[in-house]
C-alpha cells in the first residue's frame, strides 16, 4: 500500500477510535500532501519519496516549534509538538545510528575527494541523497563538519 493511502486509512481508523491527536496530525499531513500535489501548473500524485520529504519537513517544523516553546517556558505546548513528532515518526523509515551515519559520511568524503570544509556542500548533498529520510539533516551536518578538516 502506498504511503499516501496508508495515511488516509490510518486517519479513518483514528477517527473511529476518537484519537484526536492522531486525527489532527494526519489531517495536517494529508493537507500538506495535497498542497504539494496542487502546487505548480499541473496537479500530480505525490510519490512515497515525496511524501517522506513532506513528513520530514513537518517533523523539522515541529522540532523547531517545540524548542521555541521550551525557550518561552510553554512546556505544555512543547509537549504537544513532541507528541505530534512521535505520530509522524511512525511513517519514516528507521533512522540510522550515529556510527552507521559516520561510516556513510566517511565513504562519501573519500568518494567525492573532499579535502576541507569548503567541500561540505558536495558531501552534504551526496550523503542526503544516500540516506533519504533515514537521518536528520542537522545530525549529518554536525558529523560532516567534525570529519572535514
Whole-structure pTM value: 0.77
pLDDT at 81: 93
Residue 56 to residue 92: CA distance in whole angstroms: 8
Q: What is the mean pLDDT of the chain?
A: 88
Q: What is the pLDDT of residues 72-131, one digit of tens each?
A: 999 999 999 999 999 998 888 888 888 888 888 888 888 888 888 888 888 888 888 888
- The domains found in the chain, sorted by start residue, are 3-89 (1.10.1510.10), 98-147 (1.10.10.410)
Long-range contacts of 36-45 (CB under 8 A, 24+ apart): 45/4
Amino acid at each position: 500500500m502506498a504511503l499516501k493511502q496508508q495515511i488516509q486509512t490510518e486517519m479513518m481508523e483514528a477517527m473511529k477510535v476518537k484519537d484526536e491527536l492522531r486525527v489532527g496530525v494526519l489531517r495536517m499531513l494529508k493537507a500538506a500532501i495535497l498542497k504539494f500535489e496542487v502546487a505548480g501548473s499541473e496537479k500530480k500524485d505525490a510519490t512515497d519519496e515525496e511524501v517522506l520529504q513532506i513528513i520530514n519537513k513537518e517533523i523539522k517544523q515541529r522540532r523547531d516549534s517545540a524548542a521555541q516553546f521550551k525557550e518561552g517556558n510553554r512546556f505544555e505546548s512543547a509537549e504537544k509538538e513532541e507528541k505530534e513528532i512521535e505520530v509522524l515518526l511512525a511513517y519514516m523509515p528507521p533512522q540510522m545510528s550515529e556510527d552507521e551515519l559516520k561510516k556513510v559520511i566517511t565513504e562519501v568524503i573519500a568518494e567525492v575527494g573532499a579535502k576541507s570544509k569548503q567541500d561540505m556542500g558536495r558531501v552534504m548533498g551526496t550523503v542526503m541523497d544516500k540516506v533519504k529520510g533515514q537521518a536528520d539533516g542537522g545530525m549529518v551536518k554536525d558529523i560532516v563538519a567534525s570529519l572535514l578538516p
